Each structure stands twice: as C-alpha cells, then as structure tokens.
Chain A
Amino acid sequence: MRVETFNPNKDYGTPARVSETLVTVEIDGVEITVPEGTSVMRAASLANINIPKLCATDNLESFGSCRLCAVQIEGRRGYPASCTTTVDEGMKVTTQNSKLAKLRRNVMELYISDHPLDCLTCPANGNCELQDMAGDVGLRDVRYGYQGENHLDSEKDNSNPYFSFDPSKCIVCSRCVRACEEVQGTFALTIDGRGFDSKVAAGQDEDFMDSECVSCGACVQACPTSTLMEKSIIEMGQPEHSVVTTCAYCGVGCSFKAEMKGDKVVRMVPYKGGDANHGHSCVKGRFAFGYATHKDRIKAPMIRESITEPWQEVSWEEAINFAATRLKDIQSKYGRESVGGITSSRCTNEESYLVQKLVRAAFGNNNTDTCARVCHSPTGYGLKVTMGESAGTQNFDSVMKSDVIMVIGANPTDAHPVFGSLMRRRLREGADLIVADPRHIDLLKTPHLKKAQHLALRPGSNVALVNAIAHVVVTEGLEDRAFVESRCDMESYEKWREFIRDERHSPEAVEATTGVAADKVRQAARTFATAKNGSIYYGLGVTEHSQGSTMVMGIANLAMATGNIGREGVGVNPLRGQNNVQGSCDMGSFPHELPGYQHVADDTARSHFESVWGVKLDNEPGLRIPNMFDSAIAGEFKALYVQGEDIAQSDPDTQHVEKALRSLECLIVQDLFLNETAKFAHVLLPGSSFLEKNGTFTNAERRINRVRKVMPPIAGKEDWEITVDLSNALGYPMHYNHPSEIMDEIASLAPTFTGVNYDRLDELGSIQWPCNDENPVGMPTMHVDDFPIGKGRFSVTEYVATDERTNSRFPLLLTTGRILSQYNVGAQTRRTDNQAWHNEDVLDIHPSDAELRGIKENDWLGITSRAGQTVLRARITDKVLPGVVYTTFHHPGSGANVITTDNSDWATNCPEYKVTAVQVERVSQPSEWQQNFKSFEALQMKLLKGAADTAHSEVEAE
C-alpha cells in the first residue's frame, strides 16, 4: 500500500517528510510505503490506523510527552512513542494489544485525575481530543480519586477579546507553546515551572493581552482540550457545518473553514488544505469577522439629491433607476467621458471584471480604475517592462528554499502575517536576511534569527540603493553571466551594464543620499549575489514613491543579473496589500488595459472583446483615479461609481479628494458601511461581505481561490448582482445566473485564464495562473524556461529624487504604513474587537527628534506638511530613524492623508505616501481639518439616522 493522497480534514499526527528514499513498513499487518523520515504515527495514520495521541498534531514537530501513542515494534524493547519513532525498512509495528491498552488507560487515568469532570458543560464538549482519547482507551475509572493536589482552581485569563485561557483544563502537552514557536514564530508562550508545577505562561507569566502574543490563534487551534478556547464557541456552542472560503483581508489569501450554526459564523478556522496558508492564520482572518454583522451595516439602498439632504431608504429598483437616470443625464449633458467607475481590491475578480465591463461597454469609455492604482500599479508596470508579466514569480512556499531573503519596503509580520511566519521559519533554519527599510521592522527581531543585515535607508532613496547594490554586483564580477546570456536581451543588458558600472552609482557615491554606509551596501550585495538562492520580497515601501516603477525595474534587474529567476527559492515577489490586488489588475481594472493585461489600443484584442461584449469599445486609455479627481475639480468629470473603495480616506491629499468628490453631480457608492466616501454620495447601494457572496480572489502568488457564500446577503444582493442591475438599467444587458458564468467569460477573453473555471477550482482547491492548455493546473514558478516577452529586458534605472524635500520649514520625513491588528482604512477591523490593540493612529518619533522639540510620550502633536495639517499623539520609539516620523491611516479622524501630497510615481501615478516633508510640534487642539471632519461626520450621521427613522416610521405606519 502506498498512500499519496492528502486529506486536509485529517490530523496525521506528525508533519509530512519529503524524501526520494521510500521505506516500507508493516503496521498491524498492513504494509505501507512512505518517505524516509516519516514517523510511525504518520505512517499508521496514512494506512487508516489511528494511534491514540494527545501531544501530537501534524503541523508541529513530534514531542513525545504524552506517551499515549506508545506502540510495540518487533525486535525492539519497551513501548516507543510512535510520534518520535521514525520508520525503518522492514519494521513491524503493533499498535493495539492488551499491554498497550493497559498502558494507555493508565496514562489517561493520570491525566483525568487532575482534570475537571464537567464535560457536559464544557465548551469543547463534542470536539475535545482528551474526551475522545478517554473514550478510545476505554477509561472507566480513576483509581487515584480527585481529592489530591490539583490545578482545578487555577484562575482563568480572559484578557484576550477573542479567546479564553483556562489553566484548570490544561494537560501541559505543550502544543500551544510549540504552535507559537514553530507555526507562528513569536515565542510568546512557555512552560513555566517544573514537574507538577509546570504550567503554560504567556510572556513573563503575564496576561495574554500584556504579553507578546499576537493573537494569531495557532495556540487555540492546537489545544486538544478547552484550555484555549474561542469565546464565540463558549457563547454559541460547537458549529454544525462548515464551508471552505478565502479570507477577505491581506494579499496572502488564507483559506478558512467558516464554521457555522445555521447562517451564523461561529468561528473561522484556518484550513489545512489552503496552499497559501497551510492551516495558519492571523488575528484578522481568524477572529476579526464580526464586522460582517455589525450594526453599522447599511441594509437598504438609499438616495438623496444632495449631500446636505437626509438619506431616503428606497427599493433596489428605485435606487438603481435613480443612479442610471443620473448617469444617462450627465452623459447626455457633459459627454460620454464625464463618468467613470472605481473598484476596490477587496472586490472579487468577478465583481472587478463586471465593473470595468460596465464602464467600457455601458458607459462607453475607459474611465475605470482600481485602488491598486494607489498601491501596486508600479509593480504591474515595472514587471511587465522587464519580465513581461505583471505578477510575482513564485509561490509562498518557495521561500523555504531561499538562502538569502531580501525584504525591501515591506513589513511582512504586520502586513502579511501568515507569510511573515513562514519567512521566519526559514530564517530560523538559517537563511540570511537583508532588510532595506527606514524602520527597524519586527522581522529583524525574529527569535533565533541567524544572520541579518539592516540597510536603514532614508525614505525616497530606494533606487539609489538598489542601483548601488547592482553596481557592486557588476563591478565585482558577481553576475550570473550564464543566466544573463541565455535568458536576457543582451542589447538591453549591455546598455544597463554600462549605466550601472558608472562610479556615480557606487555605494560610496550614494552614501550621502541613502544614509547607508557603503561597506554595508557592499556586504549586502555580496551576500545576495553569492547565495545559491536569493529571493526578493517587497511591498508598498517600494511602490509608493515618485520612483516606484523605477525601483520595481531595479529589483527585476538585480534578480536577473544574479540569475535569481525561474526556480524555487528565488524570484521577485511583490507582497500585495489587499486580498485581491493581483486579481483586480488581472481583471482589466486599469484604464489602459482590458482583462488579461491587453492594451485597449491593441486592435486584435479589443475586437475580441467587442465581439463577445457586442459593443464598440474606445481604443484610448481612460482617466486614472487622480486624473478623475483633477477632472472633477475642473468641472469635466461629473459622476463616479465606486465599489468597495474608500477613496476619501485612503487616497492622498485628502482636501483635494474631498473637493473632487464635492464637485461630482452623482456619486454612487456601493459598500458595507457609510464610509468616508459615502458621506459625499448621492446613491448608497448596500454591498455584501465576503461571507455573503460567491466569487474568487487572486492572492500575491497569482493563486485564484474560491470565495464561497456562507450566509445570505444582509441587504439582499451579492455585489455582482448590483452591477448587473445597474448595467441593465443603463440599457446594456448583462445576464449571469452565478459568478461561475462570469469566470467562464473571463476565461474566454484572458489568455492566462483559459483553463480556469469553478469546477477546476473545486477539484484543485486553487490555481496559480497562467492556467491554459500549456499549464492545465497552473504555474507555481514563472519564467522557468523563458519570459512571456522571450528574453528578460534590463531597464536603465536613473535615480531621480522626489520633489518632496526637507528644509528648515519641513525638516522631518513622514512615512505611512499599517499594523497587524488593523486593516487598510479600518472600515472592517475598526468594527471588531481588534480595536483593543490599536484604537487610534499615533505618530512614531525618534527620541532625539522628540527631545529637540520638547515632546513627551502621548503629547498631542501638530504634523504640518505642504499639503495640510493634522494632530496625533506622540509615541517615542527608536524603531524609526532620527529625522523620520511614521504613522498609520486606519482611523479616518486621524487625517493621515491630509498631510500626504499629490506627488506620485512618474509612470503610474501611484501616490508617494512614503515621503512627505513635515514639521512636528506640540499643540493643544485638533487641526482645522479634524474639527471640520468631526462636524461633517456628525451631520452625515444625522442625515443617515434621518433615513433610518423615516423607514422605521413608515414600517410603523403600515
């Protein structure tokens, strides 16, 4: 018997092993062949022989503490633990006999003698491994009684908002401690004390909330009893069914089992069968789903004539007709190009596809854009120019084969936590780490990190740094000439080589610009170039600059020059901020590209779309988001349909954005909540959360994952249905019965999606595009043999400094970012208990800058830039460099984007969020913008309440 199937719902006890050497053993008379290094427990489990266990679970290395999994092996003495014993060729194992049964009963008897006998009222009742094992071993009596010394009065720790820690139920199996170490990589838990006094402790025996615990839930998932238990289970009881779906937060795209009671989510459990997360999760995906049923949800469509009038709740039909009539009237008055649409990267692929189709086919122009504009548009541009495909080259698992990991402008443990944990695992195994970031990110504090180099560069100097690294590679002869000569366009290479060899790019020459010592740059370049496998991971700290696209090309140049493309362990890996950034770009959301990155001016591609869509399409690009704002203020752009995006909070130079939104004659917002943008809207169409609809998300690995509906839409419609209704009302018919039909249409039009359909997604679990005749099950690693453009093209990457400069008026550089517990504009996470970790945005300032200004912790600080002013509390920290300040933008009243400027990437207009010259001083009151924000918010909440009151009185009158 040779077993290769993998059942993600089964616990095989110990992790899988990979080996070309296979070993055949006989367990209870059954022969089974497994890879060398496999445990006896796993081998038995693969043969459907389930050995009792408590301290073993298959996402943790074996520990051998519970002794319940003892077996007998022919020719060996005693009763070895099957979890820690690996298979040997010809081994004969017995897992059940009277001696083993007695031994196991004795073990269980000891456990139960110090365990509360409250099974019927215990939250884990029905889903407790201890209970199951007591049943398995046939425990009928505890001879020791229950009166001896015990832990039954241990105090509960309820400090974490999402789970409870009840030490009275703990069997000290260490699964939670090991999960925190091996899976999450935080090392927040430990076993305190010895012998009978041994107990699980968070941090230095603190409450969970006060410890370093990041609330990822790995310990809760690992616990075989009710010791660590979700509070939702304690309140609601065990779920009765589950549905596998995809998280709606970051670009990792974790698979989860939504565990349900009827149409209520009891808990979200990371799904072991998910190829992006392999059963791990973070605090957002695991616990922060309560926003979906938050009282702030908009439950009925609403309209109003102007933004100073109360909202009126109306029927779907009336709202759609109101919106369609407004759009048609505006187009007939101001022209075809006076309207447009924006989607969010929180939308599914099918939703994004439909909105761009609506704009191109029903509006009759190409004024469609996506919030990827403001995060990763330079990735699309830079990777397309150099390697021919606007996407990352690897899967996440590839990092486990990296020898050097270079992280540039990214903070994976906060922004992509599950991948951050995987990266930490590889770092613990000994991979080198190079971080290029102005901040001392937490990855640099990875426990048991072997070697790390931190290039703490000045904000805005990325290109100078990457050029200097490449200069060292070229001038010290560290290139992979064989790769370059066989895989790259030599004309572009020679031009680039001549450019980069110039002394002005040397680490010494750019030291004054980057602030990084030349010898550190040289060392980093050598480390990267001489590694067997060097990988580059980057985030918004690369893209959100005026040279964002240049930097992406610089990264691609470096990867190609060192031959780090086309195999596992290497590659260029953009860490996408939101769940469907990759997908929204794939779906043709940009104004110049049809789905599948086909340019609107490409007559062949466009005619294909025209024949399928039955309409003539414009062959000129449309407006990008910032161009829409400018055009609105100029009085030319008059109506906008925004699905799922909160441009009033997330886009830079808030006062400019607000002015643009106020200039619109019709703003249609489709969202879960009355978000900041909706406060300027005339039509509010209530959207559906990821739990209420079907579709797909595509994560940072190009992995298309299914989103499955687990509850009916609260407002009655899935988002794609609303777009269909709007299109039909505009006179451009759309007919779909299910998002699978939309995906079928996408597959017929986008060459990289040809083989994608819902049946195949269900069959394979997920697919990394391209998926077509050549790659029927997708492609984990790209550019293995060649590039989509044939040869890789080097680009000359001149460093052009931003216009945003510090001076005596604005001496500090502000950079913005995000943190673990909150997500993007916070619309979702602010409506969950994640508020317990971060209920306001603060300004991080270095101690020396604080001292110079007489600033103390928690002082109110006025932060003034050339664009505006806002006020935040001070947090003094050496995580930032002297001269640099940092804040997040998760709370709208913080006004982080009031101070960011309208500077943007030269190629894509991606805003330069990461470099704003500011002055910081102590103040005593909120900024003028913040005061206006408060009064406008109060007005809009009153106008919203008016709608609710009217609807309520109408119901009462009926």
Chain B
Amino acid sequence: MSHSPVETLVKMINQIAANNRAYEDKEAAERVASHIKRFWARKMKEDLVEYLDAGGADLDPIAKEAAEQVKNGRKEATATKQAV
C-alpha cells in the first residue's frame, strides 16, 4: 500500500491539483502553489523541486506548473536572503 516519499508527494500534489480543477488553469496552478508554500515542510518542497528537475514525469499539468512556481518562489526567497 505504502509509497516511497516522493511517490507520496506526487500523489499529494496531483490530488491538490485535481481539487482545484474547477478554476482556470492559471488560477488553479497558483492556488496549488500557494497551498504547498503554506502547508508543506521545507524538505517536501525540496524533494518536489528535485523531482520536477528530474522531469516530473507523473505530475499532472497543473501540478507541474505549480511545482515550477514553488521552485521559482524558493529561488527568489534564496536570492532575497542572500541580498540581505
């Protein structure tokens, strides 16, 4: 029954995407990304980005776009931190 941690993360983000599908794709992806930023632990986000960078094969399109946004958000945060 149990999945590897990354399989679980992919299942989770795809499920979040599925539950936001009633919105237009752009808004849906933003909502998914926002949800992950607010609720996922640092390591989970890092693992998601790593999975995305490896191709993100099983990510649903909205989830993939959201993962991109999470990745970019983390980059920006790091850049801001370094600048400070």
Contacts and interface: CB of A to CB of B under 8 A. Distances in A.
B1 A550 contact: no
B18 A800 contact: yes
B19 interface: yes
Nearest to A909: B12
A592 B39 contact: yes
Nearest to A549: B19
Among A599, A601, A630, A909: residue with most chain B CB under 10 A: A630
Nearest to A335: B43
Contact of B41 (A601, A627, A655): A627
Main secondary structure of the interface of B (DSSP, over half): helix
B38 A656 contact: no
Nearest to B2: A656
A482 interface: no
Interface in A787-834: 796, 798, 800
B21 A901 contact: no
Interface string B1-21: 111110010001001101111
Nearest to A590: B39
Nearest to B16: A906
A601 B12 CA distance: 22
Given A550-B19, A599-B38, A868 B43 contact: no
A591 B41 contact: yes
A902 B43 contact: no
Nearest to A499: B22
Contact of B5 (A599, A630, A907): A630
Interface size range of chain A in the complex: 35 or more
B59 to A, nearest CB: 15
Contacts of A622: 41
A455 to B, nearest CB: 23
Interface in A662-686: none
Contact of B42 (A546, A620, A868): A620
A867 interface: yes
Interface stretch (A114-122, A631-639, A709-717): A631-639
B44 A627 contact: yes
A96 to B, nearest CB: 70
B74 to A, nearest CB: 10
Contacts of A909: 12
A796 B28 CA distance: 11
A546 B12 CA distance: 11
Contacts of B75: none
A906 B15 contact: yes
A902 B12 CA distance: 11
A621 B39 contact: yes
A615 to B, nearest CB: 18
21 contacts: A366-B41, A499-B22, A592-B38, A592-B39, A601-B38, A620-B41, A620-B42, A621-B42, A623-B41, A623-B44, A630-B8, A653-B2, A656-B2, A796-B22, A798-B20, A798-B22, A800-B19, A867-B1, A901-B1, A902-B1, A907-B39
Interface of A: 337, 366-367, 499, 546-547, 550, 591-592, 599, 601, 620-624, 627, 630-631, 633-634, 636, 653, 655-656, 659, 796, 798, 800, 866-868, 901-902, 906-909
Given A623-B43, A800-B19, A907-B16, 13 more contacts: A366-B41, A546-B15, A630-B5, A631-B5, A636-B43, A655-B1, A655-B2, A798-B22, A902-B2, A906-B18, A906-B19, A907-B35, A907-B39
